[in-house]
Structure 1
């Protein structure tokens, strides 16, 4: 091989080696960046999980505050924020709110307390379409459900006397033996609802013509 050819070959080899080295450095940098992104994402998810768990614990403490209605109302709205921030927590939030609403009041009251009213409003906002909400035997006298969405909910044996259900969506609800005496029902959608033995004023049975379906089973939230 001539000297000029050898020098040219060596030059080409050095260029190729430099290009290969640059490529390896580029790949290494990309892998390092990708690794940092993966670590950052994992750290973010961990931080969200810790934040949600801490917030959930705090919210439970708030709604369990026996003598403080404002704290319980704050806990209800804290649960709504948790459901909005982490949709995977929504079923757990719905379950907690249902249990909270079903809990018998500590003192006799002419109508429901503001914390229970807030929980009803939040449930209506966060429930998924056609999600079953179980509020059997809940004491909801005087509740304001005006225009709220409780499709497919179960109110078996619930006390809804004096409640405002004007324009409420109660389609497919189970209202078996519910007390609806003096309830405002103007514009409420009761289509496909189970209404056997539900009571209106003077002990009238509500809409038997619209209640031919079998009652829902009692399982659920």
Structure 2
């Protein structure tokens, strides 16, 4: 407590005590004034006059009792408010301490300590909505820093790679701290005005997410080859140039997303919601698009050669299904 706050509380207490004394002194006379000689002049019996004076005094005492009860009630409410305020201050202090400790752990050289720090940040985000945007920013920064895919850099990787490396381990084995950070990003509730998550140019090959929520996320030129993203929501996200070859996207949602130039070759996009998405120049060659919904999507230049569709696949008005031609007898990849 600061010195100025202390003196404000002291001043407030003095004012309250003064008002309480004034009310106890004056209120009884305001509501039930004492009987004067003029009021009692018409009363002949001395005994009766005494009885009236005693009754009037009792009424005044009742008023004093009511005022005391009101003062006690105010004190109880003030005490409860002070207690609540102190609890709130203590809680904020504990959250700040937990947040600081978790950030320290996330910056550790020890991977196990980093993972513990990441899950500690998730607990803080669940208990403190005001910190969610900051924590999501920290998690996205952690992923970009620890799993870069430096497309365009002089010594950066070729993107997309000539082939999908089937020998790459699942991300939870290869980089469990990155997997944990993305699991948390997909679970933490989004605030209404959350800034767009920035996860462009990251190496997330063989990532595994299920029913995660990565709405309004920028994932440009990321490598998500062989990723398992069933039921993931990426509405309004920007995945321009992202590598999703051989990925399992069954039941995912990409409504209003930018998927221009995305590599879907060999991916399983069964039941994916692509409504109003922009797939200009995307490559869905050999992909399983059974039950996918492309209504309203921009399929200008989208490659569908060899893609496998069925009667449940929904196309934009006027779409030429001849673009799905595949060699006779060829079947889609089982995923």
- Smaller-chain TM-score bracket: 0.7 to 0.9
1:73 aligns with 2:101: no
Report the counterpart of residue 179 of structure 2 in structure 1: 117
| Cα 1:57/1:189, change in 2 over 3 Å | same
Distance, in Å, in 2 between the alignment partners of 1:18 and 1:129 is 57
Matched, 1:127 2:189: yes
1:55 aligns with 2:106: no
Supply the distance in 2 between the matched residues of 1:124 and 1:211 (Cα, whole angstroms): 27
Task: Give yes or no for the alignment of 1:34 onto 2:77.
Answer: yes
Structure 2, unmatched stretches of 5+, are 1-40, 149-167, 267-280, 285-293, 300-335
Residue 95 of structure 1: aligned partner = 137
- Say which SS state the counterpart of residue 52 (structure 2) adopts: helix
- Return the match for 1:182 from 243, 246, 261: 246
Structure 1 match to 2:212: 148
Pick closer, same or farther for the CA change 1:171–1:22 going to 2, 3 Å.
same
3-state DSSP class of the match of 1:165? strand
After superposing on structure 2, the runs of 4+ consecutive aligned residues of structure 1 that deviate more than 6 Å are: none
Q: Secondary structure at the match of 1:31?
A: helix
Please give the secondary structure, in 2, of the residue aligned with 1:190: coil
In the TM superposition, residue 64 of structure 1 has moved relative to its aligned partner by 0.8
RMSD: 2.4
Match runs of 1:203-218 below 5 Å? 205-206=282-283, 210-211=297-298
- In 1, the alpha carbon distance for the partners of 2:208 and 2:261 equals 22
Instruction: Give the greater-gyration-radius structure (CA).
Output: 2
Mapped pair 1:164 → 2:201: no
Q: Unaligned regions of 5+ residues in structure 1, if any?
A: 213-221
Superposition TM-score, scaled by structure 1 size? 0.83
